[in-house]
Amino acid sequence: MGSGASREVAPTGIKDVCLNNAITQKYMGLNQHGKVQAEYVWIDSDYWDGQSFDLCCKTLTLPDVPLHLDDIPIWTYSGDDAKDIVIVPRRTYRDPFRPGDNVIVLADTYEEPSEDQTDHGKPTKFNTRAACERAMQEAEDIGEDPWFGFEQEYYLLDPKTKWPLGWPAGKYPDKETAFYCSVGSTKVIAREVIEAHYRACLYAGVMIGGINSEVAPAQWEFQVGPASGTQGADDLWMSRYILQRLCEEYGIGVTFDPKPVPKQAGIGCHTNYSNMATRSSPGGMDAIKRQCERLRQEHAKHIANYGIGNERRLTGKDDTAAMTDFSWGIGDRAASIRIGCKVAMRDCGYYEDRRPAANMDPYLVSKLLVETTLLRKES
Ligand code: ADP
Ligand code: MN
Ligand code: MN
Ligand code: MN
Ligand code: MN
């Protein structure tokens, strides 16, 4: 998901040659006689370089409708060095692509256990969820309840030119036109895709909070949350999966690269965050300010985990703070951290970390926020 923008990828646009959705629909209505299709989704490397993240999936037939997570078996797939990787179910969703009792299973991955182990082995390199879950547990143990709300920005792409969908190849939209939250065929592209995604997320059980068109045609945003603990990150990954699957059907590309179009504003995934201390009244605003000062001390560590290629986006222009600077402010969209004016007025609530890039891993971002603001020993 990270470093893909500059590379040549496999052929796309095959579907207009040979695939016909009306035919597919004939078969999707056939009786499946009580069997359930479980689509396992997990995170692995995008490229063989093993540096960037992306989603994988494969399906297993279950004999019955699963009632609990335990009814869904642990499964395996083959990793790149001929060893099996163990995939462990963590959260289930209704499957919008196969309606009925079928499910999507969000899983995380482990190395194969040695013979004397009864449980699965060590988390794989791309299993950042395991450590995130531990941090959330530690926060809960000290009476905190961290909530996360993500604003996922993305671009829809023409799969042949890799340029934003509907833009003439290599050309830019009019600089004088306002596209943010815009309406109308001369400004908005592919709203039907966004509508389908929104409804599919609601159906699946993803905590999608809203959508809006962004600062250029074919750039969109959806919000996930606020959700407690790992659920926010789980739901964000699932919403990305649903978007990718949906865009397969439409034959449209999606990118989360921090700066997919040179000389245009980049795309981010602002992370809104709160905990018991910040939500409490009185005292919430003081807790927010204290937490911001801790975030200042760990700025470099956060930036290192906030998405590959984010240096192309965090330039100090287009409502971003420069990557080398840390700042927080009330109602300030040019700061690293923005505290909403309403939050400041109410004296408690949440704050917005504006640094994460659109391709960030929400498990890493959630974990770091909790560690820096709640779990770090006072130095
Ligand atoms: P912006 O003005 O930055 O565009 P949005 O309306 O797009 O803001 O997003 C606001 C985000 O804040 C949503 O993702 C929502 O889930 C999140 N949010 C709201 N309340 C809380 C809270 N108490 N804790 C964490 N996140 C929250
Ligand atoms: Mn095989
Ligand atoms: Mn927003
Ligand atoms: Mn936005
Ligand atoms: Mn925002």
Tens-place pLDDT, residues 314-354: 999 999 999 999 999 999 999 999 999 999 999 999 999 99
CA separation for the pair 169, 183 (Å, rounded): 23
Does the structure's ipTM exceed the value 0.90? yes
Q: Is the pTM of this model over 0.80?
A: yes
Q: Are 226 and 147 in contact (CB under 8 A)?
A: yes
Under the banding of pLDDT at 50, 70 and 90, the label for residue 233 is: very high
Q: Which residues surround ligand 5, an ion (CB under 5 A)?
A: 151, 270
Buried b (16+ CB within 10 A) or exposed e, 359-376: bbbbbbbbbbbbbbbbee
Nearest CA to ligand 1 atom 20: 226
CA separation for the pair 346, 344 (Å, rounded): 6
CA separation for the pair 195, 46 (Å, rounded): 27
Identify the pLDDT of residue 361: 96
Q: Which long-range contacts (CB under 8 A, 24 or more apart) does 205-209 make?
A: 205/93, 205/94, 206/93, 206/235, 206/238, 206/239, 206/242, 207/231, 207/232, 207/235, 208/235, 208/239, 209/149
Q: In the predicted model, what is the mean pLDDT of residues 355-368?
A: 97
CA separation for the pair 75, 315 (Å, rounded): 43
Identify the pLDDT of residue 120: 73
Nearest of 227, 229, 234, 313 to residue 269 by alpha carbon: 313
Nearest atom within ligand 1 for CA of residue 354: 3
CA separation for the pair 113, 123 (Å, rounded): 10
Q: Are 229 and 187 in contact (CB under 8 A)?
A: no
Under the banding of pLDDT at 50, 70 and 90, the label for residue 2 is: very low
249 CB neighbour count, 10 Å cutoff: 14
Identify the pLDDT of residue 30: 95
Q: Are 208 and 239 in contact (CB under 8 A)?
A: yes
pLDDT (tens digit per residue) in 346-358 = 999 999 999 999 9
**First-to-final CA distance of the chain:** 36
H/E segment holding residue 288: helix 284-297
Is the pLDDT at 183 greater than 70? The verdict is yes
Enumerate residues lining ligand 1, CB below 6 A: 147-151, 209, 223, 225-226, 270, 272-274, 349-350, 352
Is the pLDDT at 69 greater than 60? The verdict is yes
CA separation for the pair 379, 369 (Å, rounded): 17
Identify the pLDDT of residue 352: 98
